[in-house]
Structure 1
Amino acid sequence: MSDPVIELLESVWDSIAGLGADLSDEQWDTPTECPGWSVRDQVSHIIGTELMLAGMKTEPPAGEGGLNDIAAFNEAQIAPRRSRPGPEVLAEMVDICGRRLEMLRIMPAEKWDEMGFTPIGKAPYRTFMHIRVFDCWAHEQDMRRALDIPGHLSGPVVQHCLDWHARNMGFVVGKKAGAPEGSNVVFDIDGDAGSPRGVAVIDGRAKPSAPAPHPTVTVHTDVDTYNALCCGRIDPGAALAAGLVTVGGDTELGKQIVLSLPYVS
């Protein structure tokens, strides 16, 4: 059985490989918006996760003080690769990602539906792979912003990730921002083929809806800024002050929604 998510994974991994192909030593060491992580570290993070998913040997966590299990695992995969040349780390990523694609393409149907661990709790294996597309693309964008090499801001992978963000906007609008009953919020994102997207608060619950013709709030920005805000990479207040994201309608509620956009932990 072949699942469409396999082609999305191949696409995002190819894009990362293309980005890293001609980077200098200095560029590999460039800090990114993930605290303590360089461009090289972002690639190492991808390697560690795919090695784990492939059932291959990974570096054991060193019991870093104060780190949760996932953070400790990530740091264990990143730390030993910090002394290695960027091209060597990239080659390791290309190798393990190639192996993972081969494994996924021959995976039996029942495995895709098997319930197990994912970063959002117990869910089908298929859901984990959808999260992998999002995670890898988000880290690709971390690298691109750090290097000032924009790209891969459109296409199937991007739409997949924007759809992922959209499914979480009810949580942002209702739970985090506390939008009142009857609120209609429209997210107008430049570069999102699914935009504008609506969220309505009905019977005390915020959930995706058709965009209202006269929304309570309109939030407008571009794909890169929207993703960076949702992932907590940039400060929402600073983005508002700089005009990177604008709000219409009920400006106070709109600002609260923008301030609540970071939801990826």
Structure 2
Amino acid sequence: MTTTDHPLVTASRQFRAVAAMVRDDQWDLPTPCPDWNVTEVLGHVIAGSQMSAAIAAGAGRAEAIDLLSTQFISGDPLAALDVALALQEAALVDSAVDDRVCQHPAGDMPGAQLRSFRMSDLLVHQWDLARAIGVNDTLNSDVVQIVWDDISPMAPVIAQLGVFGNGPSGTVPDHAPLHERLLDLMGRRP
């Protein structure tokens, strides 16, 4: 697999493509992500990408938390996003990070798990942005499958984590399309 074929790069590019469609009059629109508008979702993705790049490179938990509380959006949100995504890709696409222990604010984890977290974050927030601004919300099926494989084992406790809204609704049947089941699991109601 080449770097450009990596699922994290795919998720990054697709999130960025939706972010590029945000019009000037849409930054304050609410999103399906509870309590966050379009600007706040973008800021979350930028901060999370910056933080992930830092902890993959060896930053400690305290530094990671400081990065999450930093405002990365300035006068050019897409430029800030481009920098953050590039840093994240450089840090997480290389398989050398897979077994490195990263001090994530949620707890120590291998780099492979950190990469998975970032793919899920990019995927669900791509959907949030698309829904908020009224553009195509189709998700890449390969990335959906990877994220499903990583997230679905957490289904029994996902609502208790506090990061996926109310968690699964229990109303989406097992035969529903995978992207619908994943979004529901992550607290979204497609």
Q: 1:16 to 1:47 in 2, by over 3 A?
A: same
Q: 1:168 to 1:233 in 2, by over 3 A?
A: same
Partner of 1:182: none
Partner of 2:84: 96
Indicate if the aligned counterparts of 2:102 and 2:109 stay in contact, CA closer than 8 A: yes
Partner of 1:144: 130
- Among 78, 102, 109, the alignment partner of 1:116 is 102
Q: Secondary structure at the match of 1:23?
A: coil
Count of matched residue positions in the alignment of Structure 1 and Structure 2: 169
Shift of 1:95: 1.8
Higher helix share: 2
Deviations 1:138-157 (A, max 9, x none): 11111112222233324211
4+ residue runs over 4 A deviation:
2-6
1:20-31 correspondence runs (5 A): 20-31=19-30
In the superposition, the TM-score normalised over structure 1's length comes to 0.53
Partner of 1:77: 70
Q: Does 1:233 align with 2:188?
A: yes
RMSD: 3.3
Q: 1:114 to 1:159 in 2, by over 3 A?
A: same
Deviations 1:30-58 (A, max 9, x none): 111223321122111111122223339xx
Q: Does 1:41 align with 2:29?
A: no
1:18 partner letter: A
Percent identical among aligned pairs is 22
Distance 1:23 1:93 in 2: 13
- Larger-Rg structure: 1
Indicate if the aligned counterparts of 2:49 and 2:88 stay in contact, CA closer than 8 A: yes
Shift of 1:119: 6.1
Indicate if the aligned counterparts of 1:28 and 1:39 stay in contact, CA closer than 8 A: yes
Q: Which runs of 5+ in 2 are unaligned?
A: 56-61, 159-172
Q: 1:44 to 1:17 in 2, by over 3 A?
A: same
Shift of 1:129: 0.8
Q: 1:6 to 1:55 in 2, by over 3 A?
A: farther
Indicate if the aligned counterparts of 1:45 and 1:77 stay in contact, CA closer than 8 A: no
Indicate if the aligned counterparts of 2:92 and 2:115 stay in contact, CA closer than 8 A: no
Structure with the larger RCO, 1 or 2 (CA within 8 Å, 6+ apart) = 2
Indicate if the aligned counterparts of 2:11 and 2:122 stay in contact, CA closer than 8 A: yes
Q: Secondary structure at the match of 2:6?
A: helix
Partner of 2:9: 10
Q: Secondary structure at the match of 2:107?
A: coil
Shift of 1:133: 0.5
Distance 2:45 2:70 in 1: 9
Distance 2:144 2:95 in 1: 27
Higher strand share: 1
Distance 1:13 1:150 in 2: 16
Indicate if the aligned counterparts of 2:30 and 2:38 stay in contact, CA closer than 8 A: yes
155-164 or 114-123, larger mean C-alpha shift: 114-123
Q: Secondary structure at the match of 2:174?
A: strand
1:10 partner letter: V
Indicate if the aligned counterparts of 1:133 and 1:157 stay in contact, CA closer than 8 A: yes
Indicate if the aligned counterparts of 2:98 and 2:112 stay in contact, CA closer than 8 A: yes
Q: Secondary structure at the match of 1:117?
A: strand
